[in-house]
Amino acid sequence: MKALVTGGAGFIGSALCASLVKGGHEVTAFDNLSSGSEKNLAALSRSPGFRFVKGDCKVEEDVTEALRDANTVFHLAANPEVRQERASPRESFDENVVATKVLLEAVRGSDVREMVFASTSTVYGEPTVLPTPESYSPLVPISVYGATKLASEALVSAFAKSFSFDARILRLANIVGPRGAHGVIFDFVRKLRRDPTRLVILGDGTQRKSYLYVDDCVRAMIEVLHREERVSFYNVGSKDQVSVTEIADIICGEMEVSPAYRFTGGVDGGRGWRGDVKEMLLDTARIESLGWRPKYDSAQAVRKTAFEILKKG
């Protein structure tokens, strides 16, 4: 396999590149380094068959160069920020939808035969069915981020069916790991390092979601390759949930601190921010039917991530 990984210097992308190289594949990591880092790829720099291309998914010439000789694309490049105060609707649209459209235009004129697209559980909005299956409808995102990912799903599906390549669309739970630079675990560790006596928690602390360790996510991305359907959708997540307060307890335990918790109360019924889905749990039966299982449950993924962040110092 000759694979292009967009967002290849990022948190998930760099882990995917490492796994693909280890499996003997030729890999091009493509990233504009707006949030990713070449440090994440340092161990691969001398690996045969690996190259890094700095470029932007919104620039046709950059994408064409990155796609050279590729037959498989893993599209992970995106603005991952769900909180609207940290990413404007325009920024989310450009980095998620426009970038996907430019990539797809290049793919249709290339030798690429298969694409894996990293989507998100936020496309479901606030489903009335938990665990939520891929067949759930209607899809009503409550964040601009979720809406841009849903729009990108539609583009990937339409291009795949119109221009004869296969597409695997993965709706991911909260993916965690030591290279993650945002999210609740990173936020809590940063706050407690500044002040181990108190911890401000956004919302009311009852938000419950599924968390998946990055290695499990990477295995899922590789597992879905070479299936018979032209376009297929897979939920990827753990089979359980943890609350924000439980995450705080785990991290405080790892740091051996006992701060006073101060809940902000949040918005719209205890959410951390507008657009925050308060409860999420995915039905993963479809990908499990392929033989994939997560190695870690949600609490284990959170604990392992916190331990590794703290070990890095």
pLDDT reading at 240 higher than 70: yes
**Which residues make Cβ contacts (< 8 Å) with residue 293, sequence separation at least 6?**
none
**Residue 82, pLDDT score:** 78
**Local confidence band at 180 (pLDDT 50, 70, 90 cut-offs):** confident
pLDDT (average), residues 260-282: 94
Cβ atoms of residues 190 and 251 within 8 Å: no
Minimum mean pLDDT range among 30-34, 85-89, 91-95, 186-190: 85-89
Nearest Cα neighbor of 100 from 155, 146, 145 is: 155
Cα distance between residue 68 and residue 70, in whole Å: 6
Report the CATH fold assignment for 176-210+240-282+295-312: UDP-galactose 4-epimerase; domain 1 (3.90.25)
**Residue 85, pLDDT score:** 65
Each residue's pLDDT tens digit, 302-311: 999 999 999 9
Q: Which helix (H) or strand (E) holds 50?
A: strand 50-54
Cα distance between residue 220 and residue 287, in whole Å: 8
Nearest Cα neighbor of 115 from 62, 61, 77, 58 is: 77
**Catalytic member of 145, 211, 213, 234:** 145
Cα distance between residue 7 and residue 30, in whole Å: 6
From residue 206, alpha-carbon distances to 24, 100, 280 in Å are: 44, 35, 12
* Structure-token match 């068959």, residue found: 49
Would you call 145 a catalytic residue per the annotation? yes
Each residue's pLDDT tens digit, 208-230: 999 999 999 999 999 999 998 99
- What residue segments make up the domains of the chain, in order of their start? 2-175+213-236, 176-210+240-282+295-312
**Local confidence band at 167 (pLDDT 50, 70, 90 cut-offs):** very high
Highest mean pLDDT, choosing among 83-97, 174-188, 247-261: 247-261
**Local confidence band at 294 (pLDDT 50, 70, 90 cut-offs):** very high
Which CATH number is associated with domain 2-175+213-236? 3.40.50.720
Each residue's pLDDT tens digit, 32-47: 999 899 999 999 989 9
pLDDT (average), residues 123-151: 97
